[in-house]
Structure 1
Amino acid sequence: MTADQCCHIFDLYTRGPNRRQTLGLGLGFYICHQIVTAHGGEIDAISPPG
Structure 2
Amino acid sequence: MCVHRSLPDGLQLTLGLPLIAIALLGLGAYAWVRFWVHPRFYFVDYIHAHR
Structure (1/2) with the larger helix percentage: 2
TM-score (norm 1): 0.33
Q: Which has the higher contact order (CA 8 A, sep 6+)?
A: 1
TM-score (norm 2): 0.33
Asked which structure has the greater CA Rg, the reply is 2
